[in-house]
Amino acid sequence: MKQVGVYGWGIVAPRSPDMESFARNLESSESWLSPFDGFGPDPFLVGQPAFDFERYRDWIEERFPPNRYPQLRSKMDPTTLYAIGAFIQSLEQNPGIEKVLQELGPAAHVYIGTGLGALPTLHDASLSLDRAQRDWDRFWAHPDRCQALRAYRDDPEGMSEEVPPDPSREIEDDFERVDAMRRWNAFWAARSDALQEYLADLAAIEAISVAGEVEAGKMKVLRMKEKEKSRLQERWGAPPPPWTQVTTNVLWNIANTPASQVSMLGRITGLAFAPVAACSTFGVSLKLAVDAIRRGEARAVVVGATDPPPHPLIVGGFYRGRVLAADRQVSKPLTGLRGTHVAGGSVVWVVGDREFMEARGFSPLGMEPVSVGVSSDADHIITPSREGPTHAIQQALKDGGVQPAEVASWDLHATATPGDYLEVETLRGVLPEDVLVTARKGTFGHGMSAGGGWELTAQYLGMARGALYPTPLSRSELNAQIGEMHESFVFDEACPAPRRPMGKLSMGIGGVNACVLSRPLAT
Protein backbone atom coordinates (compact mmCIF):
# COMPACT_ATOMS: atom_id res chain seq x y z
CA MET A 1 0.00 0.00 0.00
CA LYS A 2 1.38 3.42 -0.99
CA GLN A 3 2.45 5.71 1.80
CA VAL A 4 1.17 9.28 1.79
CA GLY A 5 2.98 12.31 3.17
CA VAL A 6 2.28 16.00 3.75
CA TYR A 7 4.63 18.25 1.73
CA GLY A 8 3.16 21.68 2.22
CA TRP A 9 0.64 23.47 4.40
CA GLY A 10 -0.88 26.89 4.92
CA ILE A 11 -3.18 28.41 7.52
CA VAL A 12 -5.52 31.36 7.87
CA ALA A 13 -6.98 31.36 11.38
CA PRO A 14 -7.82 33.71 14.26
CA ARG A 15 -4.67 35.65 15.26
CA SER A 16 -2.79 33.53 12.74
CA PRO A 17 -2.38 34.72 9.14
CA ASP A 18 0.22 32.03 8.42
CA MET A 19 1.85 28.84 9.66
CA GLU A 20 4.58 30.61 11.60
CA SER A 21 2.15 32.64 13.70
CA PHE A 22 -0.17 29.64 14.08
CA ALA A 23 2.64 27.51 15.55
CA ARG A 24 3.81 30.37 17.77
CA ASN A 25 0.32 31.05 19.11
CA LEU A 26 -0.23 27.37 19.88
CA GLU A 27 2.57 27.52 22.44
CA SER A 28 0.30 29.56 24.72
CA SER A 29 -2.82 28.23 26.41
CA GLU A 30 -4.64 31.53 25.79
CA SER A 31 -7.80 31.65 23.69
CA TRP A 32 -7.65 33.49 20.35
CA LEU A 33 -11.30 34.55 20.45
CA SER A 34 -12.50 38.16 20.39
CA PRO A 35 -15.83 40.07 20.68
CA PHE A 36 -18.09 39.79 17.64
CA ASP A 37 -20.27 42.95 17.73
CA GLY A 38 -21.76 41.99 14.37
CA PHE A 39 -25.24 42.85 15.64
CA GLY A 40 -23.96 46.01 17.25
CA PRO A 41 -22.99 45.28 20.87
CA ASP A 42 -23.81 41.61 21.40
CA PRO A 43 -22.97 38.72 23.77
CA PHE A 44 -20.79 36.66 21.42
CA LEU A 45 -17.11 35.81 21.10
CA VAL A 46 -15.83 34.63 17.71
CA GLY A 47 -12.64 33.64 15.94
CA GLN A 48 -11.91 36.47 13.50
CA PRO A 49 -9.34 35.34 10.91
CA ALA A 50 -6.17 37.41 10.69
CA PHE A 51 -5.71 38.00 6.97
CA ASP A 52 -4.44 40.54 4.46
CA PHE A 53 -4.65 39.49 0.81
CA GLU A 54 -2.12 42.21 -0.04
CA ARG A 55 0.57 39.86 1.27
CA TYR A 56 0.04 37.65 -1.80
CA ARG A 57 0.06 40.41 -4.42
CA ASP A 58 3.71 39.93 -5.43
CA TRP A 59 3.30 36.17 -5.85
CA ILE A 60 0.27 36.66 -8.11
CA GLU A 61 1.77 39.53 -10.12
CA GLU A 62 4.92 37.51 -10.82
CA ARG A 63 2.79 34.87 -12.55
CA PHE A 64 -0.20 36.68 -14.08
CA PRO A 65 -1.13 39.89 -15.93
CA PRO A 66 -1.52 43.06 -13.80
CA ASN A 67 -5.33 42.85 -13.81
CA ARG A 68 -5.44 39.44 -12.09
CA TYR A 69 -4.83 40.63 -8.53
CA PRO A 70 -7.48 43.43 -8.53
CA GLN A 71 -9.87 41.05 -10.28
CA LEU A 72 -9.52 38.54 -7.45
CA ARG A 73 -9.99 41.25 -4.82
CA SER A 74 -13.15 42.61 -6.44
CA LYS A 75 -14.83 39.35 -7.41
CA MET A 76 -13.84 36.73 -4.83
CA ASP A 77 -15.52 36.17 -1.48
CA PRO A 78 -13.24 36.04 1.59
CA THR A 79 -13.82 32.27 1.59
CA THR A 80 -11.90 31.94 -1.68
CA LEU A 81 -9.26 34.54 -0.80
CA TYR A 82 -8.43 32.67 2.42
CA ALA A 83 -7.97 29.44 0.44
CA ILE A 84 -5.73 31.17 -2.09
CA GLY A 85 -3.57 32.58 0.71
CA ALA A 86 -3.28 29.21 2.45
CA PHE A 87 -2.42 27.52 -0.87
CA ILE A 88 0.38 29.99 -1.64
CA GLN A 89 1.76 29.36 1.86
CA SER A 90 1.66 25.60 1.22
CA LEU A 91 4.22 25.99 -1.57
CA GLU A 92 6.80 27.51 0.77
CA GLN A 93 7.98 24.49 2.78
CA ASN A 94 9.31 22.50 -0.20
CA PRO A 95 10.61 24.84 -2.93
CA GLY A 96 9.97 23.41 -6.37
CA ILE A 97 6.70 21.72 -5.47
CA GLU A 98 4.71 24.32 -7.46
CA LYS A 99 6.47 23.24 -10.66
CA VAL A 100 5.88 19.54 -9.94
CA LEU A 101 2.15 20.13 -9.40
CA GLN A 102 2.03 21.72 -12.83
CA GLU A 103 4.12 19.05 -14.54
CA LEU A 104 1.94 16.25 -13.15
CA GLY A 105 -0.94 17.32 -15.37
CA PRO A 106 -4.02 15.17 -14.64
CA ALA A 107 -2.12 13.37 -11.84
CA ALA A 108 -2.31 16.48 -9.59
CA HIS A 109 -5.73 17.16 -8.07
CA VAL A 110 -7.33 19.88 -5.93
CA TYR A 111 -9.95 19.04 -3.29
CA ILE A 112 -10.85 22.14 -1.29
CA GLY A 113 -14.24 22.15 0.42
CA THR A 114 -16.27 24.64 2.38
CA GLY A 115 -18.80 24.46 5.16
CA LEU A 116 -21.28 27.32 4.77
CA GLY A 117 -19.91 28.78 1.56
CA ALA A 118 -19.73 32.39 0.42
CA LEU A 119 -22.30 33.81 2.84
CA PRO A 120 -20.90 37.39 2.91
CA THR A 121 -21.29 37.66 -0.87
CA LEU A 122 -24.76 36.10 -0.86
CA HIS A 123 -25.86 38.30 2.04
CA ASP A 124 -24.76 41.54 0.36
CA ALA A 125 -26.26 40.48 -2.98
CA SER A 126 -29.58 39.68 -1.30
CA LEU A 127 -29.72 43.12 0.33
CA SER A 128 -28.99 44.83 -2.99
CA LEU A 129 -31.70 42.83 -4.71
CA ASP A 130 -34.20 43.60 -1.94
CA ARG A 131 -33.57 47.36 -2.23
CA ALA A 132 -33.81 47.25 -6.03
CA GLN A 133 -37.03 45.23 -5.94
CA ARG A 134 -38.68 47.67 -3.52
CA ASP A 135 -37.73 50.68 -5.70
CA TRP A 136 -38.98 48.86 -8.80
CA ASP A 137 -42.33 47.88 -7.33
CA ARG A 138 -42.92 51.36 -5.88
CA PHE A 139 -42.31 52.95 -9.28
CA TRP A 140 -44.67 50.72 -11.27
CA ALA A 141 -47.34 50.66 -8.55
CA HIS A 142 -47.79 54.42 -8.79
CA PRO A 143 -51.35 55.33 -9.92
CA ASP A 144 -49.94 57.20 -12.95
CA ARG A 145 -48.55 53.88 -14.22
CA CYS A 146 -51.17 51.45 -12.95
CA GLN A 147 -54.67 51.71 -14.44
CA ALA A 148 -55.86 48.87 -12.18
CA LEU A 149 -55.03 50.90 -9.05
CA ARG A 150 -56.82 53.96 -10.44
CA ALA A 151 -59.89 51.80 -11.11
CA TYR A 152 -59.72 50.29 -7.62
CA ARG A 153 -59.60 53.69 -5.99
CA ASP A 154 -62.64 54.78 -8.00
CA ASP A 155 -64.55 51.58 -7.14
CA PRO A 156 -63.02 49.43 -4.34
CA GLU A 157 -65.93 47.00 -4.44
CA GLY A 158 -65.37 46.28 -8.13
CA MET A 159 -62.06 44.44 -7.51
CA SER A 160 -62.54 40.69 -7.88
CA GLU A 161 -59.22 39.85 -6.17
CA GLU A 162 -58.39 40.24 -2.51
CA VAL A 163 -56.31 43.40 -2.17
CA PRO A 164 -53.61 43.76 0.50
CA PRO A 165 -54.35 46.25 3.30
CA ASP A 166 -53.77 49.86 2.24
CA PRO A 167 -50.51 51.06 3.93
CA SER A 168 -51.84 54.62 3.99
CA ARG A 169 -54.12 53.61 6.84
CA GLU A 170 -52.88 54.28 10.35
CA ILE A 171 -50.28 51.65 11.29
CA GLU A 172 -48.41 52.37 14.50
CA ASP A 173 -45.64 49.79 14.18
CA ASP A 174 -42.87 51.00 11.85
CA PHE A 175 -41.87 47.51 10.70
CA GLU A 176 -45.48 46.52 10.03
CA ARG A 177 -45.95 49.70 7.99
CA VAL A 178 -42.87 48.95 5.86
CA ASP A 179 -44.05 45.35 5.28
CA ALA A 180 -47.52 46.59 4.36
CA MET A 181 -46.06 49.03 1.83
CA ARG A 182 -43.93 46.26 0.33
CA ARG A 183 -46.95 43.97 -0.14
CA TRP A 184 -49.07 46.82 -1.52
CA ASN A 185 -46.50 47.91 -4.11
CA ALA A 186 -45.71 44.34 -5.21
CA PHE A 187 -49.44 43.66 -5.71
CA TRP A 188 -50.09 46.70 -7.90
CA ALA A 189 -46.79 46.55 -9.80
CA ALA A 190 -47.81 43.09 -10.99
CA ARG A 191 -50.99 44.67 -12.43
CA SER A 192 -49.35 47.73 -13.96
CA ASP A 193 -50.29 48.26 -17.62
CA ALA A 194 -47.29 50.58 -18.02
CA LEU A 195 -44.95 47.83 -16.79
CA GLN A 196 -46.38 45.43 -19.35
CA GLU A 197 -45.67 47.99 -22.07
CA TYR A 198 -42.13 48.47 -20.75
CA LEU A 199 -41.52 44.69 -20.69
CA ALA A 200 -42.79 44.33 -24.26
CA ASP A 201 -40.33 46.97 -25.44
CA LEU A 202 -37.53 45.32 -23.43
CA ALA A 203 -38.33 41.92 -24.92
CA ALA A 204 -38.02 43.37 -28.41
CA ILE A 205 -34.59 44.75 -27.55
CA GLU A 206 -33.42 41.49 -25.99
CA ALA A 207 -34.65 39.59 -29.07
CA ILE A 208 -32.01 41.21 -31.29
CA SER A 209 -29.82 38.33 -32.50
CA VAL A 210 -26.25 37.96 -33.66
CA ALA A 211 -25.87 38.00 -37.43
CA GLY A 212 -22.86 37.34 -39.64
CA GLU A 213 -19.47 36.62 -38.07
CA VAL A 214 -20.07 35.55 -34.49
CA GLU A 215 -17.23 37.35 -32.67
CA ALA A 216 -17.64 40.68 -34.46
CA GLY A 217 -21.44 40.39 -34.50
CA LYS A 218 -21.61 39.53 -30.81
CA MET A 219 -19.94 42.75 -29.68
CA LYS A 220 -22.04 44.83 -32.09
CA VAL A 221 -25.27 43.32 -30.75
CA LEU A 222 -24.21 43.79 -27.12
CA ARG A 223 -23.45 47.47 -27.71
CA MET A 224 -26.73 47.96 -29.58
CA LYS A 225 -28.74 46.31 -26.82
CA GLU A 226 -27.14 48.39 -24.09
CA LYS A 227 -27.78 51.59 -26.03
CA GLU A 228 -31.45 50.73 -26.64
CA LYS A 229 -31.98 49.70 -23.00
CA SER A 230 -30.52 53.02 -21.83
CA ARG A 231 -32.99 54.84 -24.08
CA LEU A 232 -35.83 52.74 -22.69
CA GLN A 233 -34.87 53.65 -19.11
CA GLU A 234 -34.68 57.34 -19.99
CA ARG A 235 -38.06 57.27 -21.72
CA TRP A 236 -39.80 55.78 -18.69
CA GLY A 237 -37.66 57.36 -15.99
CA ALA A 238 -37.73 53.98 -14.30
CA PRO A 239 -35.25 52.71 -11.70
CA PRO A 240 -32.92 49.91 -12.84
CA PRO A 241 -34.73 46.56 -13.16
CA PRO A 242 -33.99 44.40 -10.09
CA TRP A 243 -32.48 41.63 -12.21
CA THR A 244 -29.76 44.06 -13.29
CA GLN A 245 -28.81 44.75 -9.68
CA VAL A 246 -27.70 41.21 -8.78
CA THR A 247 -23.91 41.01 -8.80
CA THR A 248 -22.29 38.35 -10.96
CA ASN A 249 -20.14 37.56 -7.90
CA VAL A 250 -23.00 35.28 -6.87
CA LEU A 251 -21.98 33.05 -9.79
CA TRP A 252 -18.23 33.38 -9.27
CA ASN A 253 -18.44 32.24 -5.63
CA ILE A 254 -20.21 28.89 -5.71
CA ALA A 255 -19.00 25.95 -3.62
CA ASN A 256 -16.26 24.85 -6.02
CA THR A 257 -14.75 28.35 -6.45
CA PRO A 258 -11.94 27.98 -3.86
CA ALA A 259 -10.82 24.73 -5.49
CA SER A 260 -11.12 26.10 -9.03
CA GLN A 261 -9.26 29.33 -8.20
CA VAL A 262 -6.43 27.37 -6.59
CA SER A 263 -6.26 25.14 -9.68
CA MET A 264 -6.06 28.24 -11.92
CA LEU A 265 -3.50 30.10 -9.82
CA GLY A 266 -1.40 26.96 -9.40
CA ARG A 267 -1.94 25.95 -13.06
CA ILE A 268 -2.96 22.52 -11.81
CA THR A 269 -4.87 20.76 -14.58
CA GLY A 270 -6.08 17.62 -12.78
CA LEU A 271 -9.48 17.15 -11.14
CA ALA A 272 -10.59 20.09 -8.95
CA PHE A 273 -13.77 20.00 -6.90
CA ALA A 274 -15.29 20.85 -3.53
CA PRO A 275 -16.07 18.12 -1.00
CA VAL A 276 -18.71 19.51 1.37
CA ALA A 277 -19.13 17.58 4.61
CA ALA A 278 -19.79 20.21 7.29
CA CYS A 279 -17.27 19.98 10.15
CA SER A 280 -15.79 16.81 8.64
CA THR A 281 -14.90 18.51 5.34
CA PHE A 282 -11.13 18.51 5.83
CA GLY A 283 -11.04 14.87 6.93
CA VAL A 284 -13.24 13.80 4.01
CA SER A 285 -11.05 15.79 1.58
CA LEU A 286 -7.98 14.07 2.99
CA LYS A 287 -9.58 10.63 2.62
CA LEU A 288 -10.46 11.30 -1.00
CA ALA A 289 -6.87 12.40 -1.61
CA VAL A 290 -5.32 9.36 0.10
CA ASP A 291 -7.63 7.06 -1.85
CA ALA A 292 -6.84 8.75 -5.19
CA ILE A 293 -3.10 8.47 -4.54
CA ARG A 294 -3.32 4.82 -3.53
CA ARG A 295 -5.43 3.98 -6.57
CA GLY A 296 -2.80 5.61 -8.78
CA GLU A 297 -5.14 8.33 -10.05
CA ALA A 298 -3.05 11.10 -8.50
CA ARG A 299 0.54 11.57 -7.39
CA ALA A 300 -0.21 14.74 -5.40
CA VAL A 301 -3.38 16.42 -4.16
CA VAL A 302 -4.00 19.90 -2.75
CA VAL A 303 -6.56 19.38 0.01
CA GLY A 304 -8.23 21.94 2.20
CA ALA A 305 -11.23 23.61 3.75
CA THR A 306 -12.26 27.24 3.96
CA ASP A 307 -14.88 29.25 5.83
CA PRO A 308 -16.14 32.85 5.69
CA PRO A 309 -15.38 35.24 8.53
CA PRO A 310 -17.92 35.26 11.37
CA HIS A 311 -21.11 36.83 10.02
CA PRO A 312 -24.48 37.65 11.59
CA LEU A 313 -26.16 34.94 9.50
CA ILE A 314 -23.73 32.34 10.83
CA VAL A 315 -23.69 33.51 14.43
CA GLY A 316 -27.47 33.89 14.49
CA GLY A 317 -28.01 30.49 12.88
CA PHE A 318 -25.72 28.75 15.35
CA TYR A 319 -27.40 30.55 18.24
CA ARG A 320 -30.88 29.53 17.11
CA GLY A 321 -29.54 25.99 16.78
CA ARG A 322 -28.80 26.16 20.54
CA VAL A 323 -25.12 25.37 20.17
CA LEU A 324 -23.53 28.81 20.66
CA ALA A 325 -22.13 30.34 23.84
CA ALA A 326 -23.60 33.80 24.43
CA ASP A 327 -22.12 35.30 27.59
CA ARG A 328 -18.95 36.89 26.15
CA GLN A 329 -16.85 34.39 28.06
CA VAL A 330 -14.68 31.71 26.47
CA SER A 331 -16.63 28.44 26.47
CA LYS A 332 -14.03 25.70 26.70
CA PRO A 333 -14.73 22.13 25.59
CA LEU A 334 -15.11 19.56 28.38
CA THR A 335 -16.09 22.20 30.98
CA GLY A 336 -19.49 23.89 31.45
CA LEU A 337 -20.79 22.77 28.02
CA ARG A 338 -22.32 26.21 27.33
CA GLY A 339 -21.76 26.13 23.58
CA THR A 340 -19.20 26.78 20.89
CA HIS A 341 -17.82 29.89 19.12
CA VAL A 342 -17.99 30.61 15.38
CA ALA A 343 -14.66 31.12 13.57
CA GLY A 344 -13.49 31.70 10.00
CA GLY A 345 -10.39 31.00 7.92
CA SER A 346 -8.77 28.26 5.89
CA VAL A 347 -6.33 25.37 5.90
CA VAL A 348 -4.61 23.84 2.87
CA TRP A 349 -2.23 20.88 2.66
CA VAL A 350 -0.30 19.41 -0.25
CA VAL A 351 -0.22 15.63 0.14
CA GLY A 352 1.47 13.17 -2.12
CA ASP A 353 2.80 9.70 -2.84
CA ARG A 354 5.84 9.49 -0.55
CA GLU A 355 7.95 7.44 -2.92
CA PHE A 356 7.28 9.81 -5.80
CA MET A 357 7.66 13.05 -3.81
CA GLU A 358 10.74 12.09 -1.85
CA ALA A 359 12.49 10.81 -4.98
CA ARG A 360 12.27 14.44 -6.10
CA GLY A 361 13.86 15.71 -2.91
CA PHE A 362 10.75 16.85 -1.04
CA SER A 363 10.65 16.33 2.73
CA PRO A 364 7.44 15.25 4.53
CA LEU A 365 6.05 17.40 7.33
CA GLY A 366 4.69 16.59 10.77
CA MET A 367 3.30 13.07 10.63
CA GLU A 368 2.14 10.52 8.09
CA PRO A 369 -1.62 10.24 7.45
CA VAL A 370 -2.21 6.49 7.58
CA SER A 371 -5.97 6.12 7.16
CA VAL A 372 -9.23 8.03 7.29
CA GLY A 373 -12.46 6.40 8.42
CA VAL A 374 -15.72 8.04 7.37
CA SER A 375 -19.34 7.35 8.29
CA SER A 376 -22.79 8.87 8.66
CA ASP A 377 -25.00 8.82 11.74
CA ALA A 378 -28.19 8.47 9.66
CA ASP A 379 -29.95 9.95 12.67
CA HIS A 380 -30.02 13.58 13.91
CA ILE A 381 -29.06 16.73 12.03
CA ILE A 382 -26.91 18.10 14.90
CA THR A 383 -26.69 15.71 17.83
CA PRO A 384 -24.07 13.00 17.15
CA SER A 385 -24.91 9.36 17.62
CA ARG A 386 -22.71 6.75 19.25
CA GLU A 387 -22.74 4.36 16.30
CA GLY A 388 -21.65 6.75 13.52
CA PRO A 389 -18.44 8.07 15.12
CA THR A 390 -17.63 4.57 16.44
CA HIS A 391 -17.81 3.18 12.90
CA ALA A 392 -15.47 5.92 11.64
CA ILE A 393 -12.94 5.26 14.41
CA GLN A 394 -13.03 1.51 13.92
CA GLN A 395 -12.65 1.86 10.17
CA ALA A 396 -9.60 4.12 10.57
CA LEU A 397 -7.98 1.67 13.01
CA LYS A 398 -8.68 -1.30 10.75
CA ASP A 399 -7.51 0.39 7.54
CA GLY A 400 -4.40 1.70 9.28
CA GLY A 401 -3.53 -1.67 10.81
CA VAL A 402 -3.40 -0.06 14.27
CA GLN A 403 -4.56 -1.65 17.51
CA PRO A 404 -6.46 0.58 19.96
CA ALA A 405 -3.77 0.08 22.61
CA GLU A 406 -1.16 1.57 20.24
CA VAL A 407 -2.93 4.95 20.02
CA ALA A 408 -1.09 7.51 22.15
CA SER A 409 -3.12 10.70 21.69
CA TRP A 410 -6.53 11.73 20.38
CA ASP A 411 -8.00 15.07 19.37
CA LEU A 412 -11.74 15.46 19.96
CA HIS A 413 -14.30 17.31 17.88
CA ALA A 414 -15.55 18.67 21.26
CA THR A 415 -17.72 21.77 20.70
CA ALA A 416 -18.26 22.66 24.39
CA THR A 417 -21.84 21.37 24.16
CA PRO A 418 -23.46 18.39 25.92
CA GLY A 419 -22.28 16.31 22.95
CA ASP A 420 -18.78 16.40 24.48
CA TYR A 421 -19.86 13.89 27.13
CA LEU A 422 -21.18 11.44 24.53
CA GLU A 423 -18.05 11.87 22.41
CA VAL A 424 -15.73 11.00 25.30
CA GLU A 425 -17.98 8.08 26.21
CA THR A 426 -17.85 6.86 22.60
CA LEU A 427 -14.07 7.24 22.55
CA ARG A 428 -13.68 5.19 25.71
CA GLY A 429 -15.77 2.47 24.12
CA VAL A 430 -12.94 1.97 21.63
CA LEU A 431 -9.70 3.30 23.12
CA PRO A 432 -7.94 2.62 26.47
CA GLU A 433 -7.93 4.86 29.53
CA ASP A 434 -4.36 6.10 29.02
CA VAL A 435 -4.95 7.75 25.62
CA LEU A 436 -3.98 11.42 25.93
CA VAL A 437 -6.89 13.62 24.81
CA THR A 438 -6.86 17.15 23.39
CA ALA A 439 -9.74 19.54 22.60
CA ARG A 440 -8.88 22.84 20.91
CA LYS A 441 -12.03 24.75 19.96
CA GLY A 442 -11.60 26.88 23.05
CA THR A 443 -8.39 28.10 21.40
CA PHE A 444 -9.47 29.23 17.94
CA GLY A 445 -13.21 28.58 17.87
CA HIS A 446 -15.27 26.45 15.52
CA GLY A 447 -14.45 26.88 11.84
CA MET A 448 -17.30 24.98 10.20
CA SER A 449 -15.07 23.17 7.70
CA ALA A 450 -11.57 24.47 8.48
CA GLY A 451 -11.65 23.76 12.24
CA GLY A 452 -10.86 20.06 11.82
CA GLY A 453 -7.89 20.97 9.62
CA TRP A 454 -6.59 23.46 12.18
CA GLU A 455 -6.81 20.80 14.89
CA LEU A 456 -5.08 18.21 12.73
CA THR A 457 -2.33 20.69 11.79
CA ALA A 458 -1.81 21.49 15.49
CA GLN A 459 -1.46 17.76 16.16
CA TYR A 460 1.10 17.38 13.36
CA LEU A 461 3.08 20.45 14.45
CA GLY A 462 3.14 19.13 18.02
CA MET A 463 4.55 15.79 16.94
CA ALA A 464 7.17 17.54 14.82
CA ARG A 465 8.46 19.42 17.86
CA GLY A 466 8.02 16.46 20.22
CA ALA A 467 5.41 18.05 22.49
CA LEU A 468 1.64 18.39 22.41
CA TYR A 469 0.63 22.05 22.53
CA PRO A 470 -1.33 23.21 25.60
CA THR A 471 -5.08 23.85 25.49
CA PRO A 472 -7.07 26.55 27.36
CA LEU A 473 -8.50 23.83 29.66
CA SER A 474 -7.26 23.83 33.26
CA ARG A 475 -7.47 20.70 35.37
CA SER A 476 -9.89 22.32 37.82
CA GLU A 477 -12.33 23.23 35.01
CA LEU A 478 -12.78 19.70 33.67
CA ASN A 479 -16.44 18.68 33.77
CA ALA A 480 -16.89 16.35 36.73
CA GLN A 481 -18.83 13.66 34.86
CA ILE A 482 -16.37 13.67 31.98
CA GLY A 483 -13.51 13.50 34.47
CA GLU A 484 -15.04 10.39 36.03
CA MET A 485 -15.07 8.74 32.63
CA HIS A 486 -11.57 9.72 31.47
CA GLU A 487 -8.66 11.36 33.26
CA SER A 488 -5.88 11.78 30.71
CA PHE A 489 -6.18 15.20 29.02
CA VAL A 490 -3.78 17.85 27.75
CA PHE A 491 -4.48 20.83 29.97
CA ASP A 492 -2.97 24.34 29.94
CA GLU A 493 0.62 23.15 29.84
CA ALA A 494 2.44 21.39 27.03
CA CYS A 495 3.34 17.74 27.50
CA PRO A 496 5.62 15.28 25.66
CA ALA A 497 4.24 13.80 22.44
CA PRO A 498 4.53 10.00 22.54
CA ARG A 499 5.96 8.68 19.27
CA ARG A 500 3.00 6.45 18.56
CA PRO A 501 -0.11 6.73 16.37
CA MET A 502 -2.52 9.61 16.99
CA GLY A 503 -6.14 10.10 16.00
CA LYS A 504 -8.44 13.00 15.27
CA LEU A 505 -12.24 12.85 15.02
CA SER A 506 -14.54 15.38 13.35
CA MET A 507 -18.33 15.23 13.43
CA GLY A 508 -20.53 17.39 11.25
CA ILE A 509 -24.03 18.74 10.79
CA GLY A 510 -26.09 16.01 9.20
CA GLY A 511 -24.10 13.32 10.99
CA VAL A 512 -21.01 13.21 8.74
CA ASN A 513 -17.99 11.79 10.60
CA ALA A 514 -14.31 11.63 9.65
CA CYS A 515 -11.58 10.03 11.73
CA VAL A 516 -7.95 10.63 10.69
CA LEU A 517 -5.30 8.25 12.01
CA SER A 518 -1.66 9.35 11.73
CA ARG A 519 1.72 8.05 12.83
CA PRO A 520 5.12 9.64 13.48
CA LEU A 521 7.50 9.95 10.58
CA ALA A 522 10.37 7.47 10.69
CA THR A 523 13.55 9.06 12.03
C-alpha span between 421 and 482 (Å, rounded)? 6
pLDDT beneath 50, residues of the chain: none
**pLDDT tens, residue by residue, 72-129:** 999 999 999 999 999 999 999 999 999 999 999 999 999 999 999 999 999 999 999 9
**pLDDT tens, residue by residue, 187-215:** 999 999 999 999 999 999 988 886 656 56
Q: What is the pLDDT of residue 351?
A: 98
- DSSP 8-state secondary structure symbol assigned to residue 296: T
Q: How many CB atoms lie within 10 A of CB 66?
A: 9
Q: Is 160 exposed, middle or buried (0-12, 13-18, 19+ CB in 10 A)?
A: exposed
Specify whether the CB–CB gap between 38 and 315 falls below 8 A: yes
Q: What is the pLDDT of residue 176?
A: 85
Q: What is the pLDDT of residue 211?
A: 64
Question: In order of start, what are the domains of the chain with their CATH numbers?
Answer: 4-118+253-520 (3.40.47.10), 122-244 (no CATH)
Specify whether the CB–CB gap between 48 and 310 falls below 8 A: yes
Q: What is the pLDDT of residue 216?
A: 60
Specify whether the CB–CB gap between 82 and 211 falls below 8 A: no
Q: What is the pLDDT of residue 217?
A: 62
- DSSP 8-state secondary structure symbol assigned to residue 461: H
Q: What is the pLDDT of residue 359?
A: 97
Q: Is 498 exposed, middle or buried (0-12, 13-18, 19+ CB in 10 A)?
A: middle
C-alpha span between 380 and 181 (Å, rounded)? 41
